[in-house]
Amino acid sequence: MLISISIRCPSWVSRAVKVATPILLIASAGVAFSAPTTFTAGQTLKAADLNAAFANVPTTADLNTAVAKLPTTSEWTSYTVAVTAGTTPVTTTVDGAATSTGYYRRVGDTLEVMIDTVFPACSAAGQLEWSLPTGLTPDAGKLPGAYTVVGSAIVINATTATTKTTTVSAQIGWSTPAVALERGSTTGGMTCADIGNGGGTRMRFSIPIQGWTLNN
């Protein structure tokens, strides 16, 4: 003869099991978990309960440690970009209502740069080069080559009324660190002939800098 015994648990026990099961699973995975104490009106407060409730609140030291691990980031800062064709300085102007031809900021160990230049006249021979902010040297040890592609650009040729996209390459090891724009169809960097009088360029690139680390 089979005897069936049915044991009914109070509803609060069932709820406790439902809550405890995922907690146990999390704990078994090695993740620390502490359920907060829920206080009710009129309840006698105990030091142990209060300490447990605030055990997981980050301390000032915890916050300082977390902040110290964040990448060092600066505001965008304007700078005047010096443009040369070979060794000949080329006069450029700002585009539209802009107040500067270049802006840069630091993100960790990397320099981020935006440059927008217009060429009222551009006829000098030689590869065009755009300067970096003064006093900053690219970290060649973090770049896979002497002419690494570090960004992209748009070139507007006013003479032919054409627009072209190209890449920005870092000129590493030169006496004055700079970037150049790749021609694409031929070897070497772009020249005045690729831009023409009244033409312009818009570029954005990122370069690791010597002496900068993630959060120093």
What digits encode the pLDDT tens for the residues 1-29?
444 444 454 554 455 444 444 444 444 44
What gap in Å lies between CA 102 and CA 100, rounded to an integer? 6
Q: Report how far Cα 191 is from the mean position of its chain's Cα atoms.
A: 30
Domain topology for 77-208:
Adenovirus Type 5 Fiber Protein (Receptor Binding Domain) (2.60.90)
Confidence of residue 151 (pLDDT cuts 50, 70, 90): very high
What gap in Å lies between CA 9 and CA 38, rounded to an integer? 23
What gap in Å lies between CA 102 and CA 116, rounded to an integer? 6
Q: How crowded is residue 147: how many other Cβ atoms within 10 Å of its Cβ?
A: 15
Share of the chain above pLDDT 70, in %: 75
Confidence of residue 51 (pLDDT cuts 50, 70, 90): confident
At residue 62, the pLDDT reads 60
Confidence of residue 49 (pLDDT cuts 50, 70, 90): confident
Q: How crowded is residue 138: how many other Cβ atoms within 10 Å of its Cβ?
A: 23
- DSSP state for residue 103 in the 8-state scheme: E
39 vs 145, more confident: 145
For tokens 């304007």, the residue is 78
3-state secondary structure of 124: coil
Per-residue pLDDT of 76-110, as tens digits, reads 999 999 999 988 999 999 988 888 999 999 999 99
At residue 71, the pLDDT reads 80
- Residue partners of 121: CB distance under 8 A and separation at least 6: 91, 197
- Helical residues (DSSP H) of 11-170, grouped into ranges: 11-28, 47-53, 60-68
At residue 57, the pLDDT reads 76
> What ranges do the domains of the chain cover?
11-57, 77-208
pTM to 2 decimals? 0.69
- Residue partners of 147: CB distance under 8 A and separation at least 6: 169, 170, 171, 172, 180
Among the residue ranges 21-25, 118-122, 198-202, the one predicted with the least confidence is 21-25
